Amino acid sequence: MRQEVVFRMGIPVQNASGQAIGTLEKLVFLETEKKITEIVVRDFSSLKRVPLVWIRELTEHVLVLDHPGTLEDLPVFDISQFEEVPTWFYPPGYRIELGSLLTLKPCDERFLGESEAMSRRDFMAKSTGLVATLIGISLVVPIGGYVLAAAKTKLSDHWITLSIRLDQLPVDEPVSHTFNAVSVSGWMRVPVVRTVWLIRHSGTTDPLSVSEDQILGLDSPLEKSRSSPLLTVLSPICPHLGCSPQWFSGKKLFICPCHHSIYEMNGKRIGGPAPRPMDQLPVQIEKDGAISILYEEFQVGIPQKIRLS
Amino acid sequence: MNMKKTSSDSRFIQYLDERIRLRSLLGFLLEEPMPGGARWAYVFGSMVLFTLVLQFVTGVMLAFYYGGTPDHAWDSVNYIDHLRYGNLDVGRLIRGFHYWGASIMVVLVGVHLLQVFLWGAYKRPREIMWLVGVILLALTMTAAFTGYLLPWDERAYWGTIVGTNMIGLVPVVGPLLKSAIRGGTGLGALTLSHFFAIHTMMLPSLFILFVVFHLVIFRRVGPAGPFRGTSATLEARKEYFYPRQVLMDALAMLTVFVLIAGLSVVFPPGLEATANPANSSYSPTPAWYFDWIFELLKMIRPEILGVIGLPAIIALVLVMLPFVDKNIERSPFRRPVSVLSTLLVLGSILGLSIAAEAGFKKLVPLDLASVKRGKIVFEHSGCMGCHMVMGKGGHIGPDLSEEGLIGHSEHWLEVQFINSSSHFPGSPMPPFTFLSPEQRRDLAQYVSSLGRTGWPDTTR
């Protein structure tokens, strides 16, 4: 490996005949070539730029030049034309002690003067920021919409006509009715099997023929307008935590096996932790007794009946 | 650079500076000395990087909704195409960004390579940086090839059939390589997941790795600078990367972005009928940047010479260039042989591409209003008594679900409606002479659109 060259600032500089002609002050670095090209020597009158190739000998204590006379003819070093080199640009193989490396300043500041250069720099920085903001906004807006587009997709209400007619149902005895439906998730349509409770009523005078949801006014306008005194349709999902309440015909009660929420036939909660009655679903009965229902799901665990989109 | 604003910097900047040495980091990133000053000629690398980032962002977005199996891929892309937010066709826009971003990236990689070549910037000591660039070129073309299959429409399926068959022609390892890429002898579910994994997992990782490598080397050896001028004059006109070159790069990126966005809005990417391995009449065409290879393969016999020889020669020339060309002269004006031969190659690529495009069957350009009217004519004139479209209709005539992909001209179709036996002697199709000329034109437009557009909106 090549010997490391050590420059120590402040050491005396001698000419070829051994006379002291000044002291070593600074080093000048050519960034395009990534090497030190000049040294700056303080002689008796001013700072002078001396080419690096003039150095004959360099130790930690003295620097000897090939040049015989004084440095009078050499160009004067003008500090305003130069700036410090950041440490990460230091060339390999050199060590600079007690001093720093200088390089020519980039041109625009030199040609235009400090204050104007700063305003130009400011202008360019702000323009760059503006361009970046423009691109950013025009990307973030469609991306945000794109991500939210599926979340905002409205579920279309899909009425299903059941395979059972009103007159085929027993009176005052809930029946768990199973039907085929399609679950939609984005581009995928999956056939699913769903269940609802169908409760046919003996007549309008029966107090249990009105669902508890209706009595408490929890229904949405749709559910209010699509209900029948002859039939109550209850969701199979427990409004507590989403288990499935079962009908016990001996006790005439729905009891949820998970946390023992207990409901009467019209969905009224009479015991257990459930926050609201069993959810009534919209229903429509045709003249011939055909039953159409709209399957909805609701948020569980809260006293309000809030439909999941 | 002297960060003078020490006192006026916000407390946040000071906080970060104390903890992550922010100023020195920024200084390192922005104070790249540029011999000879900032130039428009240097913006191409940044433009490529920008399109790559855009591809990453939009690609992740597409993956949000994409289903990578043959029974869902097409449905999911059609779903993306119909995604709307308010009045904005966001799905089609994001897909357009990715589609046009790919094309523009291929162009920009080519321009970047050409600029580096003309400037002689690949010469010592930048040979390794050039090599890494060649690897990035290969990654770009692989990404283009693998992404082509993912929509799983007819174009994607048949294009990939041909592309992978070409790989199969490689001597000795070809058949094995082809089966490995396809995940079996045929093109199917495993091919799609292989391509999806390569396109969305393998290539992005490799891209990041080699782009970082490219940039690290760039900062180690520095920019080559202009090919004219001594180091003293270049030093005298030296500037730092920040702020002028940064602004130029930003403006160039904005131009690319506006171009890609404009193309996405004006020419949204299409989606042909879902891949149908039984469709023997489909004539596959490559993506435009592979056109010249397509055309060349028609000329070179035996085929294997074109399939293997051509990419091998290109790769060899690109890889060996900086090691063979040791002439230190960088000016393109003093390297007539290499510059002229490059221009010759470019000219041939351009000529071959034009010839290939001219040779493709032109599909009828669609006027969507006319297509809509034609659909009504189709449904009310008894066509469906004999012809099936998308699973609805009769069985007497041929299924027309993908008729638009065959490439009959409007005139051919109009003649077919009124005089079928002139095309198919003995055809049982009755002459639909009661159709008015406008109705015939609309019907021809509708039939030309079959298999190309008009897919059901599955988002609502």
CATH number (domain holding residue B65): 1.20.810.10
Does residue B23 share a domain with residue B41? no
Does residue B438 share a domain with residue B312? no
Does residue B349 share a domain with residue B414? no
Higher pLDDT, A97 or B153: B153
Listed in sequence order, the residues at least 6 apart from B205 whose beta carbon sits closer than 8 Å to its beta carbon are none
Q: Which among A32, A139, A146 has CB closest to B238?
A: A32
Does residue B275 share a domain with residue B140? yes
Query: Alpha-carbon distance A86 to A83, whole Å?
Result: 9
pLDDT band at A67 (very low <50, low <70, confident <90, very high): confident
Instruction: Please indicate if any CB of chain A lies within 8 Å of the CB of B61.
Output: yes
Instruction: Please indicate if any CB of chain A lies within 8 Å of the CB of B456.
Output: no
Residue A122, H or E segment: helix A114-151
Residue B390 C-alpha, separation from nearest chain A C-alpha, in angstroms: 18
Pick the CATH number of A159-294 from 1.10.3720.10, 2.60.40.420, 2.102.10.10, 3.40.190.10: 2.102.10.10
Q: Give helix B174-182 / helix B154-168 axis angle, nearest 10°.
A: 150
Q: Which among B85, B237, B243 has CB closest to A148?
A: B85
Q: Which among A32, A83, A89 has CB closest to B35?
A: A32
Query: Alpha-carbon distance A268 to A251, whole Å?
Result: 14
Residue A37 C-alpha, separation from nearest chain B C-alpha, in angstroms: 10
In a domain, B327, yes or no: yes
Instruction: Please indicate if any CB of chain A lies within 8 Å of the CB of B259.
Output: no
For chains A and B, count residue pairs whose Cβ atoms are closer than 8 Å.
Answer: 120
In a domain, B169, yes or no: yes
B267-318 pLDDT, tens digit per residue, is 999 999 999 888 888 888 888 988 988 888 888 888 778 778 888 888 999 9
Query: Alpha-carbon distance B330 to B234, whole Å?
Result: 15
The answer to whether residues A126 and B244 touch, using CB atoms and an 8 Å cutoff, is no
Rounded average pLDDT over B180-190: 92
Does residue B378 share a domain with residue B350? no
Q: Which among A128, A148, A152 has CB closest to B246?
A: A128
- A101-104 and A82-84 as β-strands: parallel, antiparallel, unpaired? antiparallel
Maximal C-alpha separation, chain A: 130
pLDDT recorded at residue B258: 97
For B153-195, the DSSP string reads BHHHHHHHHHHHHHHHTSTTTHHHHHHHHHTSSS-SHHHHHHH
Rounded average pLDDT over B340-353: 92
Does residue B374 share a domain with residue B343? no
Average pLDDT, chain A: 84
pLDDT at B357 exceeding the cut of 70: yes
pLDDT at B3 exceeding the cut of 50: no
Nearest CA in chain A to B4: A118
Rounded average pLDDT over B437-443: 92
Q: For Cα atoms A166, A172, A175, give the angle at the middle one, nearest 5 degrees.
A: 60
pLDDT recorded at residue A205: 67
Residues of A whose CB is below 8 A from B67:
187-188
In a domain, B14, yes or no: yes
Does residue B353 share a domain with residue B373? no
A129-143 pLDDT, tens digit per residue, is 999 999 999 999 999
pLDDT at B4 exceeding the cut of 50: no
Residues of A whose CB is below 8 A from B33:
31-32, 89, 103, 106
Q: Which of B77, B100, B228, B244 to mutate to test the interface with A (most CBs of A within 10 A)?
A: B244
Question: What pTM was estimated for this model as a whole?
Answer: 0.84
Query: If we measure between CA atoms, which residue out of A59, A52, A1 comes closest to residue A26?
Result: A52
Does residue B49 share a domain with residue B19? no
Q: Which among B67, B90, B460 has CB closest to A142?
A: B90
Rounded average pLDDT over B152-157: 94
Residues of A whose CB is below 8 A from B93:
142, 146
Contact at CB, A142 and B253, closer than 8 angstroms: no
In a domain, B209, yes or no: yes
CATH code, domain carrying B420: 1.10.760.10
pLDDT recorded at residue A219: 86
**Residue spans per domain, chain A:** 5-105, 111-151, 159-294
Which residues are A12's β-sheet partners? A23
Nearest CA in chain B to A128: B247
Does residue B238 share a domain with residue B302? yes
- Round the CA-based radius of gyration of chain A to a whole number and report it: 45
Alpha-carbon dihedral angle through residues A200, A203, A207, A212, given to the nearest 10 degrees: 40
For B218-236, the DSSP string reads HHHH-----SSS-HHHHHH
Nearest CA in chain B to A156: B460
Instruction: Please indicate if any CB of chain B lies within 8 Å of the CB of A187.
Output: yes
Contact at CB, A188 and B67, closer than 8 angstroms: yes
B24-33 pLDDT, tens digit per residue, is 888 888 888 8
Instruction: Please indicate if any CB of chain B lies within 8 Å of the CB of A117.
Output: no
Query: If we measure between CA atoms, which residue out of A52, A80, A78 comes closest to residue A66?
Result: A52
Q: For Cα atoms A263, A266, A270, give the angle at the middle one, nearest 5 degrees.
A: 30
Q: Give helix B246-266 / helix A114-151 axis angle, nearest 10°.
A: 30
State in Å, rounded, how far the first CA of chain B is from the last one.
Answer: 57
Contact at CB, B65 and A31, closer than 8 angstroms: no
Residue A178 C-alpha, separation from nearest chain B C-alpha, in angstroms: 26
Does residue B426 share a domain with residue B293? no
Domain count, chain B: 3
pLDDT band at B2 (very low <50, low <70, confident <90, very high): very low
A17-49 pLDDT, tens digit per residue, is 888 888 888 888 877 777 788 888 888 888 888
Does residue B267 share a domain with residue B171? yes
Considering chain A, what percentage of its residues have pLDDT values greater than 70? 87
In a domain, B456, yes or no: no
Residue B151 in 3-state DSSP? coil
Pick the CATH number of A5-105 from 3.40.190.10, 2.40.50.100, 3.20.20.80, 2.30.30.240: 2.30.30.240
User: Quick count: other Cβ atoms within 10 Å of Cβ A145?
Assistant: 20
Domain that holds residue B25: 1-31
Rounded average pLDDT over A213-222: 86
pLDDT recorded at residue B105: 97
The answer to whether residues B271 and B77 touch, using CB atoms and an 8 Å cutoff, is yes
pLDDT recorded at residue B26: 86
Q: Which among A84, A127, A145 has CB closest to B90?
A: A145
Does residue B26 share a domain with residue B52? no
Listed in sequence order, the residues at least 6 apart from B356 whose beta carbon sits closer than 8 Å to its beta carbon are B291, B292, B294, B295
Query: Alpha-carbon distance A182 to A192, whole Å?
Result: 6
In a domain, B458, yes or no: no
